[in-house]
Copies of this chain bind each other. A is one copy, B any other.
């Protein structure tokens, strides 16, 4: 097994160099299957968020495993997914820039999308885009019940938007999008029940009621009326998910293989992966990732292309030239730094998967 790993590391550095982003397809498949089972058991459809992997190939694996469709965060992601054969897509954000650039209309012309809004300005842009596409847009109203991010804060505001959608022949009311905070599910239920009553009074019904988040798998099924769940990170997992208690280290499918390139003194060292590889996003954790081979080593700082190692707590210290594997704190942003993922299975390289929607900012 150790010999296999050494052979794999050598193969990776000789073929791709370091740092190199690697996924284990066996773990990926297990993670996909686990998420599907959790949704199935709760009686809600699975609509994974592809922001984590940004790959049509992996999205299609999720669909083949039973997912209803996918969630995208950017129109550019949806464009890539449509090109990859995916047809059922919610874009879970106010698409102002993409709407005004005409790209929303162009994609809506190709196939019917589901978009989200929490304000009338977005609705007006969506109406224009739908008119330009000559196809009405399905719109979900985004509701905030605890993240203080996007989303209307009251059922009254949600209903006001529903009225605008109802009055617009180019917009169809499709449902409600929630991202409850971990302890916000009871509050979400109250919010939801009030909206549903209001919607009924104007003759509307929320066909889709979506909840979100990998950590929220612990709550899945707790919103009476929910029809779908969208989770992203669970396909790969990361230290944040381990910290949240929803994954173990063995469930982490993504690792960056990186070389120890310098050992300035006994207690310190430098990796060839820095913030331009693993990102400065700590996800609220201490340090920047876990080194599988040296769990007591600490990546305490990043320069752009350097990871700073504190080896003071290590008995067995890595040497210059060693290749080590790092599990990132936050995998979604780390995947977005690379153009491709080297896929392994049983210690063998079996595929190279393009991160086709990497960097799609619009």
Binding site for B on A (CB under 8 A): 13-20, 51, 73-75, 93-94, 96-98, 100-103, 118-119, 121-122, 125, 144, 148-153, 258-259, 261-265, 268, 270, 272-273, 275-277, 279-282, 303-306, 308, 319-321, 332-333, 336-339, 358-359, 361-362
Contacts and interface: CB of A to CB of B under 8 A. Distances in A.
A150 B262 contact: yes
Interface of A is mostly: loop
B74 A15 contact: no
Given A264-B152, A275-B279, A361 B19 contact: yes
Contacts of A118: 262, 264
Contact of A101 (B13, B261, B338, B361): B13
Contact of A103 (B17, B125, B148, B262): B17
Contacts of A98: 17
A51 B306 CA distance: 13
A148 to B, nearest CB: 7
Nearest to A321: B121
A338 B51 CA distance: 16
B14 A93 contact: no
B276 A304 contact: no
A144 B51 CA distance: 40
Contact of A277 (B75, B276, B361): B361
13 contacts: A13-B97, A13-B100, A14-B102, A17-B97, A17-B98, A19-B361, A73-B305, A97-B258, A144-B264, A149-B264, A150-B306, A280-B281, A358-B359
Contacts of A100: 13-14, 17
A337 B361 contact: yes
Contact of A265 (B103, B153, B306): B153
Contact of A97 (B74, B150, B259, B319): B259
B13 A305 contact: no
Closest 5 CB pairs of A and B: A18-B97, A17-B362, A17-B101, A17-B97, A280-B281
A51 B303 CA distance: 12
A142 to B, nearest CB: 8
Nearest to A97: B18
Contacts of A319: 121
B275 A281 contact: yes
A267 to B, nearest CB: 10
Nearest to A358: B359
Given A150-B262, A337-B361, 6 more contacts: A15-B101, A17-B100, A73-B304, A149-B308, A276-B336, A280-B333
Contacts of A305: 51, 73-74, 93
A22 to B, nearest CB: 13
B276 A361 contact: yes
A333 B302 CA distance: 12
